[in-house]
Amino acid sequence: MKNVDYSKMINVTNDRYRLKFHIAPPFGWMNDPNGLVFFKGYYHVFYQYYPYDSSWGPMHWGHCRSKDLIHWEQLPIALVPGNKEDKDGCFSGSAIVKNDKLYLIYTGHHYYARKDPDHFWQNQNIAYSEDGVHFVKYKGNPVIATPPKDNTQHFRDPKIWKENEYYYVILGSQNNDGVGRVITYRSKNLVNWEYLGVITQSKSPNKQGFMWECPDLFKLNGKSILLFSPQGIQKVDKKYLNLYQTGYFVGNMDYQNNQFSHDKFKELDHGHDFYATQTMESPDGRRIVIGWMDMWENDMPEKKDGWAGALTIPRELTLKNNHLYMTPVRELKNLRNKTLIDKQINIHSTTLKIPDPQHLELDLQASLNHWGGNKFVFMLQKSNQEILSLTFNNRNKELTLFREGKDPYRYGTISSSNKLKLQIFIDTSSIEIFVNNGETVFSERYYAEGKSNITLESDKGLLCNVRAYSVGH
Ligand code: FRU
């Protein structure tokens, strides 16, 4: 593997937007989370990484690990591109443990000519490690050299798992008619892969996407979930408002016939900044998901400071009534430093007394039974100007998220409920809002320097249990 050139790495020049308890690059650019796995006592998270600039460049795999999902230790860069199998980038992929070794499977990216970024080809490769820190690329790479005949050059993001005696990988791909799809391969030894075919594909480029990135297939409550990031879905009313989406199908995977039957596509998160998720199973059987907390082509003001990108907090996925709920993993409770507020407040317009609202967990719970009001607002302000807010409309159970700047609104709903529960994590330049135990979630980056405050408002007095904790290391 090529060496990294430490002398050329970019420096962080200002830490005004640096997050304290999220995974973010020490410097340089980050996008997708990769290779989520538990190995020899540590959770490992790799990520798409470019250490020489705060913009995307030839992809490396950055690497960090944690014993508890909340304290993350940065490790040396795991994969450096430049070998013949991955000349222009080590794109997204996943990890699996076999015989006490950690294996990575990832996409090699290749340009025909540097000047033409749309003219490329992709293959699949593996690398392995005994200690989970130092990785060696397999000498026989690529392990999957070319896409199936009816595929375009879009052929990437292998996610690996084991089912009975086979290893499977699912890949994001595009067929020659220009629609997104997922295809599978199987292997007994991680090296020789047999192509099985298409398990499901987009109905049309505009309705379900022209390319499906970062697919992931796993089981919850006996159902199979296909989680993926389609590109090209056109917005419909208040849905699919981001450049690209991340969402899922609930269904059944028929391994015998290599077919995935499913219901309709649903977005997993309703915020501006959520993409390219990956999941893993924790040792105690929880399905944990992490996403890239940004979106392609969004402004990322931290670029000026020598870095860009962050991942969401780890979240547990559960399935209820064919709907995926996302809740912060329970380990996040150990991040609470100090209880700042723990009382019942009758909300009309209340500014919370919190010394540092930008490093905070805020839990709000209200019964809607005897309220008689219609509107409840959570608001983050700076010098009386709204930076970000979430408005709940009790009549139609709709949530409207506002973020200052262009394209400010995002929407979600909750099913009829006599309770409103918001669990909110704020970390310098990010805010994640979990509504009613993760039925609806908003993930957002925001950029405000200096002192902000939090205000709660209601059009009619609403009795609310308010708990606030300072969080961080
Ligand atoms: C998703 C993605 C993947 C690709 C990677 C490249 O955000 O486009 O499909 O492997 O990013 O960095």
Per residue in 177-213, pLDDT tens?
999 999 999 999 999 999 999 999 999 999 999 999 9
User: Poorest-confidence range of 113-117, 190-194, 309-313, 331-335?
Assistant: 113-117
Residue 114 has what pLDDT?
Answer: 73
Closest CA to 269 of 430, 161, 159, 428: 430
Report whether residue 427 contacts ligand 1, using a CB cutoff of 6 Å. no
Task: State yes or no: is 305 an active-site residue.
Answer: no
Indicate if the pLDDT at residue 473 is higher than 80: no
pTM: 0.97
Report whether residue 123 contacts ligand 1, using a CB cutoff of 6 Å. no
Can you tell me which atom of ligand 1 is nearest the CA of 92? 10
Ligand 1 centroid – CA 192 distance (Å): 24
Which residues, at least 6 apart from 59, have a Cβ–Cβ distance to it below 8 Å? Answer: 48, 49, 50, 81, 89, 90, 91, 109
The active-site residue out of 32, 88, 216, 273 is 32
Question: Model confidence at 472, in pLDDT bands (50, 70, 90)?
Answer: confident
Report whether residue 231 contacts ligand 1, using a CB cutoff of 6 Å. no
Task: Give the span between the Cα atoms of 182 and 202, in whole angstroms.
Answer: 9
Ligand 1 centroid – CA 33 distance (Å): 10
Task: Give the span between the Cα atoms of 390 and 379, in whole angstroms.
Answer: 7
Report whether residue 59 contacts ligand 1, using a CB cutoff of 6 Å. yes
Task: Give the span between the Cα atoms of 455 and 381, in whole angstroms.
Answer: 7
Q: Are 346 and 442 in contact (CB under 8 A)?
A: no
Can you tell me which atom of ligand 1 is nearest the CA of 172? 9
CB burial readout 414-433, b (16+ within 10 A) else e: beeeeebbbbbbbbbbbbbb
Task: Give the span between the Cα atoms of 298 and 410, in whole angstroms.
Answer: 15
Question: Model confidence at 449, in pLDDT bands (50, 70, 90)?
Answer: confident
Q: In this predicted model, what pLDDT tens digit does every residue of 13-38 receive, in sequence order?
A: 999 999 999 999 999 999 999 999 99
Can you tell me which atom of ligand 1 is nearest the CA of 32? 7
Report whether residue 276 contacts ligand 1, using a CB cutoff of 6 Å. yes
CA 102, 105, 111: angle at the middle one, nearest 5? 145
